A and B are shown apart, each in its own frame.
Chain A
Amino acid sequence: MTQRERNWLLVAPAGAWFLVMLVLPLSVVFVFSFGERGPAGGYVPAFTFEQYANLPARLTAFKNTLILAPLGTLAALLIAYPLAYQLAVRTDPKWKTILLVLVIVPFWTSILIRSYAWIFILGGRGLPALLEAIGIEGVRLIYTPFAVTVGIVYGYLPLMVFPIYVALDRLDKRLLEASSDLGARPLRTFLQVTLPLSIPGVATGCLLVFILLMGEFLIPALLGGGKVFFVGNALVDLFLQSRNWAFGSAVAFTLIVIMLITVTIYMRLIARLRVGRDDAQIM
C-alpha cells in the first residue's frame, strides 16, 4: 500500500461519517423545502417556492433568535471571562483541577432536569419569595425573557469558560512580567497583553455558544413558558405539531444559511483582527 492509499483509507471513516451524517440530511432538508405538506401532514414531493414565500410568518421567531442568541453569547462571555481568568491566572495550581471539575459537574446531568430546577428557583416560591422576605415585592422572574437569558448563560457557561481558560492558561507569564518591568500598570498589561492574547479562546467560545444558541429550543420552551419563541421552537412546532415538513425544512434551511453567513462574517472579522495585531507587533 502506498502512503497515498493509506491516507485515503485513514480518511475514509471520517469521510463516510461526514457524508451520511451531514451531507445527506442537509440534502433531504433542501429537497423537502421545495415540497408541500401532505393532507394529514408530512411531506409530498413538489417543486414550489411557496414555503420560502411563507417565511415572513415566522419573522418574529427569527427576530427573537437573532436578538437573544448574540445577547446570550455576550452575557455568557462577560460572566465566563472573569471566571476563566481567575481560574487560569490567579488560582493556586493545586486547586485548579478541582475548580475546573466543578465547572463541568453540571454537565453530568441532563439540561432538561437542570432547567426544571431553574423553574423552581425562578418560580413564585423560589427567588421572588426570598426577595419578598426582604421587602421587594411583586417580582416576576419565571416565563420572562430574563429567565430565558439566565437559563442560556447557565447552560452554556462551561462551553465559554473552557476555551478562554485554555488560552489564558497557555499565556506566557513572562510577558506579563516584561510588561510590568516596562512600567505598565496592571490594567494596561491586561488590556494590551492578556486580553489580545486570549482573543482566540474568546473567539472559539463565542462561536461555540452562538451556534448552539441559534438552534436552541429547550430553554425558551421551559423557562420562557412558551411565550419566548425561537426559530428552534418554530421548528419543533412545525415538525411535531402541525407536521408541515416542507415549511419546516424551508425554515431550517433558512436558519442554516443565516448561520453560515453570520459565522463567515465573524471568522473574517476575527482573522482581520489577528492580522491587524500582527502588523502592530512588527511595527
Chain B
Amino acid sequence: MKDNGHISKRRFMEELRRYQKGSVTRRHFLGVTGLGTATAVLGAAVPGLRPRPAFAQDIGDRVVLATWPNYHDAANFDAFTDATGAFVQVNVFGSNEEMLAKLQAGGSGWDVFVPTNYTITTYVGEDLIEPLDVSKLPNYDPAAFDPRFADAGTVDGTLYAVPKNWGTTGFAVNTAHDGGTALTSWKDFFDRTKTDFSGRTMVHDYQLTTIGNALKYFGYSFNSVDPAELAEAEKLLIEVKPHLFAISSDYQPAMRSGDAWLTMCWTGDGKQLNADMPEIAYVLGREGGEIWSDYYAIPKGAPHREAAYALINHMLDPEVNAREVLAHGYPVADANTNALLPEEILNDPILYPAQDLLDALEFGAAATLTDPNRAELLARFKSA
C-alpha cells in the first residue's frame, strides 16, 4: 500500500541528514517528522514536570477518587488540595459492576472509592479492599451514625468502609406532562411509559435498579434471582423498550432539556432536578424499591494510601460533609453533620420520604452483584 500522509522512511532519513548538515533548523526537522509533537505530548504526561508546592506533612501530590456522578462539592476538594497539596483526581462511574470490574482487572490506580452497601462483602471475599485503620480517621465518630446505614461497612468484625451518604431509588417525573393523573407506583411507571409517556422515559443502564424496579412491577423482591420471576421482568422490559427515550444512568441533561419526562432516579438527582425545575417531582414507587447506603473505602494496593486516609478524614469532617449535602442533596446518617444542616433540608420529603414509603424499600443484596443471570438479562434487554 502506498504511503499516505505520513513521512516515508527515505524522506525521514533525508530530513535527518539535512538537519545534521545544518541546512535546516531543528524546528523544521521536528516539525516535518512529527517528533516535535510527540515530544510535547510526552512532556506534558510526566507529572514530575508540573509545579508542586511543599507542605509540612507530605502525602504526595495527588489522590485518585472513584465515585458517582453529581455526588460532591468541588469546593471541598479544592480546600483539601489547599491544605495538603494533594490534587483530587475524580473518576466517575455508572454502576457498582463497573467499579468491581476495574478493581478485579487490577491496576486501577484508585486511592479511594465509593462502594454501595451490598457490594462490600464481595470486595472482602475477592480481597480487593483494605481494612481501615481508625486511628488515621480522627473525624470518624461511629456512635454518631445511624447503624442502618453504617453496618454494611463492617464485615466479620473488621471495619472496611465508612458511611458517605444514603438514599433511595425512585423515579423523577415531569408533572407538566402527566395530564393531571400523578404516577405513584412502578406499575404506573411502566404502564404509562407504554401510553402517554411513550418515547419520553429513561431507565438506568444498571442491572440492580432497572431489573429490580421491573420486578417490583409484579410485586416480587427487588433482589430476586429466581429465574421465573426474572423472566417476567425481562418480558416487561423488552415490551417497554420501544417506548424508551434512552437506557442511561446520565438522565439529568435529558430531563432538564425536556426531551425526557420520566426517569428512574436517585435521591440527590431528584433533589437537584426539583430544586431547579419544581415541576419535576421525585416519587418512590408504592410497591417499594431500593434503599441504599454508600461508603468510602480504600482498595488494596492504593498508590497513595496516606492521601487516601487524609481525604476520607477530610470528607468526614461534619462541616465539610454538611457542605456536601447542600451541594448534592443526598442525606447523611451522621448526627454531627445533621446538627449543622438547616431545618428545611432535614424536613425535605425528597431526602427523607414518609415512613410508610421507606418501610417498603429493600437494601440491595450481594447476590444480585454476582448473579450471572441478572447481568445477562440486562445485556439481552439492551441488545434486543
Check B207–A58 contact: CB distance below 8 A: no
From A57, A120, A166, A243, B101 is in contact (CB under 8 Å) with A243
From B2, B259, B379, A241 is in contact (CB under 8 Å) with B379
Q: Which 4 A-B pairs have the closest CB atoms?
A: A225-B246, A242-B375, A226-B247, A124-B259
Check B382–A226 contact: CB distance below 8 A: yes
Measured CA separation A124–B196 after assembly (Å): 18
Does A162 belong to the interface (CB within 8 Å)? yes
Does B191 belong to the interface (CB within 8 Å)? no
CB contacts under 8 Å to A, within B87-113, are 95, 97-98, 100-102, 104-105
Q: Which residues of B contact A (CB under 8 A)?
A: 1-2, 4-5, 95, 97-98, 100-102, 104-105, 122, 125-126, 199, 205, 207, 241, 244-248, 253-254, 257-259, 369-370, 372, 375-376, 378-380, 382-384
Q: What is the chain B residue whose CB lies nearest that of A63?
A: B383
From known contacts A140-B199, A226-B247, A243-B97, infer whether A124 and B257 are also in contact, taking CB-CB under 8 Å.
Answer: yes
Q: What is the chain B residue whose CB lies nearest that of A116?
A: B253
Check B253–A41 contact: CB distance below 8 A: no
Which residues on the A side are within 8 Å of B101 (C-beta)? Answer: 41, 239-241, 243
Q: 18 extra interchain contacts, Cβ-Cβ under 8 A, other than A37-B372, A204-B4, A240-B97? A: A57-B376, A57-B380, A58-B379, A123-B253, A123-B254, A123-B257, A163-B5, A200-B1, A201-B4, A225-B246, A226-B247, A226-B382, A227-B241, A237-B378, A239-B101, A242-B372, A242-B378, A243-B97
Measured CA separation A75–B206 after assembly (Å): 33
Measured CA separation A225–B247 after assembly (Å): 6
28 A-B pairs in the complex with CB atoms less than 8 angstroms apart: A39-B370, A40-B100, A40-B104, A40-B122, A41-B100, A41-B101, A42-B104, A57-B376, A57-B380, A64-B383, A120-B253, A124-B258, A143-B245, A163-B4, A166-B5, A201-B4, A225-B244, A225-B247, A227-B247, A229-B382, A234-B383, A237-B382, A239-B105, A240-B98, A241-B378, A241-B379, A242-B375, A242-B379
Does A142 belong to the interface (CB within 8 Å)? yes
Least CB distance, A232 to chain B, in whole angstroms? 12
CB contacts under 8 Å to B, within A216-275, are 225-227, 229, 233-234, 237-244
Check B97–A241 contact: CB distance below 8 A: yes
Does A125 belong to the interface (CB within 8 Å)? yes
Measured CA separation A233–B247 after assembly (Å): 13
Which residues on the A side are within 8 Å of B248 (C-beta)? Answer: 225-226
Taking chain B's interface residues, is the majority helix, strand, or loop, or is none over half, making it mixed? helix
- Hey, what's the 0/1 contact readout for A196-207 against B, CB within 8 Å counting as 1? 000011001000
Least CB distance, A172 to chain B, in whole angstroms? 15
Tell me how many residue pairs across A and B have CB atoms closer than 8 Å.
107
Measured CA separation A148–B4 after assembly (Å): 28
Least CB distance, B280 to chain A, in whole angstroms? 15
Check B2–A227 contact: CB distance below 8 A: no
From B104, B205, B375, A226 is in contact (CB under 8 Å) with B205
From B1, B246, B376, A204 is in contact (CB under 8 Å) with B1
Check A241–B375 contact: CB distance below 8 A: yes
Measured CA separation A134–B95 after assembly (Å): 41
Does A157 belong to the interface (CB within 8 Å)? no
Check A227–B244 contact: CB distance below 8 A: yes
Does A60 belong to the interface (CB within 8 Å)? yes
Check A229–B383 contact: CB distance below 8 A: yes
Does A71 belong to the interface (CB within 8 Å)? no
From A58, A200, A239, A242, B2 is in contact (CB under 8 Å) with A200
Measured CA separation A55–B357 after assembly (Å): 43
Check A243–B247 contact: CB distance below 8 A: no
Q: What is the chain B residue whose CB lies nearest that of A141?
A: B259
Least CB distance, A249 to chain B, in whole angstroms? 13
Measured CA separation A162–B375 after assembly (Å): 42
Does A80 belong to the interface (CB within 8 Å)? no
Least CB distance, A156 to chain B, in whole angstroms? 15
Does A83 belong to the interface (CB within 8 Å)? no
- Hey, what's the 0/1 contact readout for A165-181 against B, CB within 8 Å counting as 1? 01100000000000000
Check B104–A234 contact: CB distance below 8 A: no
From B5, B375, B379, A234 is in contact (CB under 8 Å) with B379
From A64, A162, A229, A233, B4 is in contact (CB under 8 Å) with A162
Does A87 belong to the interface (CB within 8 Å)? no
Least CB distance, B279 to chain A, in whole angstroms? 16
Which residues on the B side are within 8 Å of A123 (C-beta)? Answer: 253-254, 257, 259
Q: What is the chain B residue whose CB lies nearest that of A37?
A: B372
Does A61 belong to the interface (CB within 8 Å)? yes
Which of A40, A41, A57, A242 gathers the greatest number of chain B CB atoms within 10 Å?
A242
Least CB distance, B380 to chain A, in whole angstroms? 7
Q: What is the chain A residue whose CB lies nearest that of B366?
A: A40
From known contacts A162-B4, A227-B247, infer whether A58 and B383 are also in contact, taking CB-CB under 8 Å.
Answer: yes
Measured CA separation A243–B370 after assembly (Å): 9
Which residues on the B side are within 8 Å of A233 (C-beta)? Answer: 382-383
Which residues on the A side are within 8 Å of B241 (C-beta)? Answer: 227
